[in-house]
């Protein structure tokens, strides 16, 4: 046994198969029972379901060594996790009820519970933009805004493009100023969903607020002429809100429009702790562009640190990219760089 252990610990003894995290997840799904795999997949986003389903076909004939490698990887990562998040919602609810009583606790929970606790609205994630547009086109703009607040920004943008142009700015305004969501509003959406998909469970109250970055993501999904028209209409109603949304419409991807000197200034203004996650989540073209704006030594340091950094959560990547975009906007506001985006100059 000692010899076997030494052999396993030797990094040169066997070379680990080149299996991506997505492939490893697909292999695990094939190893689980149908019921267990279905339970896991039901918690994924639609795009993730499509991706993992396609990969499952490609790894169906995986060998025994590869399976063992995937299981070892899964166990190693599972060991580093804690169970503190398991059934945390039930635990928090119990604590609040003991402290404040059932009625007051339920009121508090309705204000602070995560939006994804509203299981009744899950079917929205699986609906096509055309179906959502058909469902809300005759509804009050407040109802339309509420529905769009529960779907991804790219889907919301596609829905807006389908809806009549004269009502788009009203919906965007209500979306940007959306506050606490009443139980009656949730019930209204449930009724709308009935004709498209079956409601999925209870009827908890929820809160949903949208900051300017959420709305900016939707606006960036519109055609340029449409986003400019909506922003112009919003400016007449609430200049500060329109300005906040317009500021957020400059994204990490827009760094591609900067000249090499300006891009270098942006890169120098941010810490490596932001650059590394941002670049790990960037496409190859953007990564090469940013690295080329740095000195050879600095670029090599970043690449080495990226290699040493393990997988990162999408939220961490997006947060880093948003921070870099914000840094670029600040440099533009101070006059240190110039950004020409879609015909609008930032100086």
For residue 251, the number of C-alpha atoms closer than 13 Å in the C-beta half-sphere is: 16
Assign residue 343 a region (left: φ > 0; alpha: ψ between -120 and 50; beta: otherwise).
left
Supply the DSSP symbol for 41: H
The angle formed by the CA atoms of residues 185, 191 and 192, to the nearest 5 degrees, is 90
Question: What is the pTM assigned to this prediction?
Answer: 0.43
| Token representation of residue 211 | 């900051």
Question: Are the C-beta atoms of residues 291 and 303 closer than 8 Å to each other?
Answer: yes
Domains along the chain? Answer: 2-79 (no CATH), 120-246 (1.10.220.30), 250-346 (1.10.220.30)
pLDDT tens, position by position, for the chain (347 residues)? Answer: 444 444 444 444 444 447 888 888 888 888 888 888 888 887 777 778 888 888 888 887 888 888 888 888 887 776 665 555 555 566 666 776 676 666 566 655 555 544 443 456 667 777 888 888 888 888 888 888 888 888 888 888 889 989 998 889 999 988 888 766 666 777 777 777 775 543 334 333 344 445 556 687 788 777 778 888 888 888 888 887 887 787 777 788 888 888 899 999 999 999 988 999 999 889 889 999 999 999 999 999 999 998 888 888 888 888 888 889 888 888 887 888 887 654 444 44
């Amino acid at each position: 046994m000692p010899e076997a252990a030494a052999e396993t610990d030797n990094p040169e003894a066997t070379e680990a198969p080149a299996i991506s995290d997505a492939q490893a997840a697909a292999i695990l799904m094939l190893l689980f029972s149908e019921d267990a795999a279905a339970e896991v997949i039901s918690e994924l986003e639609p795009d993730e379901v499509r991706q993992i389903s396609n990969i499952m076909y490609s790894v169906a004939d995986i060998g025994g060594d590869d399976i063992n490698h995937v299981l070892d990887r899964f166990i190693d990562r599972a060991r580093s996790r804690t169970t503190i998040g398991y059934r945390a919602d039930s635990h928090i609810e119990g604590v609040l009820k003991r402290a404040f009583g059932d009625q007051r606790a339920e009121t508090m929970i309705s204000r602070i519970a995560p939006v994804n606790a509203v299981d009744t609205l899950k079917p929205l994630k699986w609906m096509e933009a055309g179906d959502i547009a058909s469902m809300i086109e005759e509804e009050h703009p407040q109802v339309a805004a509420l529905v769009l607040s529960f779907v991804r920004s790219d889907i919301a943008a596609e829905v807006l493009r389908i809806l009549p142009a004269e009502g788009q700015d009203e919906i965007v305004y209500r979306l940007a100023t959306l506050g606490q969501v009443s139980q009656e509003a949730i019930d209204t959406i449930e009724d709308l969903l009935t004709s498209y998909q079956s409601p999925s469970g209870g009827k908890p109250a929820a809160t949903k607020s949208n900051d300017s970055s959420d709305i900016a993501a939707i606006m960036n999904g519109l055609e340029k002429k449409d986003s400019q028209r909506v922003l112009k209409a919003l400016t007449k109603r609430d200049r500060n809100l329109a300005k906040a949304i317009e500021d957020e419409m400059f994204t990490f991807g827009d760094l591609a429009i900067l000249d090499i000197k300006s891009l270098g200034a942006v890169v120098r203004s941010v810490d490596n702790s932001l650059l590394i996650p941002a670049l790990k989540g960037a496409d190859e073209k953007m990564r090469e562009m940013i690295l080329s704006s740095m000195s050879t030594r600095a670029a090599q340091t970043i690449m080495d640190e990226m290699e040493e950094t393990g997988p990162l959560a999408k939220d961490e990547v997006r947060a880093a990219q948003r921070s870099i975009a914000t840094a670029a906007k600040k440099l533009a506001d101070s006059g240190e760089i110039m950004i020409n985006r879609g015909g609008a100059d930032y100086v």
